[in-house]
Structure 1
């Protein structure tokens, strides 16, 4: 089935909570492996809600979001990080707010792409705890079993 109403912009509110729970690891994966934190959080959210997105579609989402990020978000993030030592606290906070706005744009791009994809509701959820997480991490030659704290959210 093509995804429609079950997943909308409100999923990012849930993802914000997941981010707060896994912030340090998310940023480490972003910085060390160039993962897209929004896609990582989406994988966790989909697993938690028992949806499955096939592996080729994870590759497509990664490519689409990477194109957007390389044009604007990543250069801005690098600029913000380099500027930190040169700016007053309030100026730096303004830069962070702008980066968050760019992240929200990235989320909208991901959601639009996701809504045209074949996302399936899983009926047998006994072995589905980390399918999306595994698919996404595999794009970076990472194994989801190496990140057990990300699996813990499935039981909540």
Structure 2
């Protein structure tokens, strides 16, 4: 695999208090893609906005999730319910993470098409997430996620 600063940032961000829960609620209740939300947040932190890359990024993510990540996620969740499928669950979890990495490798390629912005990261994140959500027919509800992502993180 190639170096992907978005993937590295996503792993760190996802592990931050409150981020995982906020992302999974938006995914499971409203059908939003965790990787696209992380991409919007990452761009905002880096002083970029999705701009014209948003629509093709959404298309790529929706197609990949429909064909690959979604079915693997569904299988993993079913395996978790079975008392005798712990090894299968772990294998599917690894497959799901690998599928998400492939999508993030594709999303990071849009970087050159994402214009710089001088908006504060929290404001830019809200704007990008709102544009993505509107594309999916979801209204709003990102304040908790944005707060969790942009709250100061402890550094070691």
| Cα distance per residue 1:85-117 (max 9 Å; x no partner) | 2343233112211111111111112223x14x5
2:70 matched to which residue of 1? 74
2:8 matched to which residue of 1? 13
Q: Structure 2, unaligned stretches of length 5 or more?
A: none
Equivalent residues in 2 for 1:1-156, closer than 5 Å: 9-21=4-16, 22-54=19-51, 56-86=52-82, 87-112=84-109, 114-115=110-111, 118-125=113-120, 128=124, 130-144=126-140, 146-152=141-147, 153-154=149-150, 156=152
Counterpart of 1:61 in 2: which secondary structure?
helix
Distance 1:93-1:46 versus aligned 2 partners, 3 A rule:
same
Counterpart of 1:130 in 2: which secondary structure?
helix
Distance 1:84-1:58 versus aligned 2 partners, 3 A rule:
same
In the alignment, the residues of structure 2 paired with residue 154 and residue 83 of structure 1 have an alpha-carbon distance, to the nearest angstrom, of: 34
Higher relative CO (Cα under 8 Å, sequence separation at least 6) belongs to 1
| Cα distance per residue 1:44-67 (max 9 Å; x no partner) | 11112221122x532221111111
Q: Structure 1, unaligned stretches of length 5 or more?
A: 1-7
Q: State the shift of 1:155 in Å.
A: 5.5
Equivalenced residue count is 145
In the alignment, the residues of structure 1 paired with residue 35 and residue 127 of structure 2 have an alpha-carbon distance, to the nearest angstrom, of: 17
> So what's the TM-score if we normalise by structure 1?
0.79
CA RMSD of aligned residues (A): 2.3
1:5 matched to which residue of 2? none
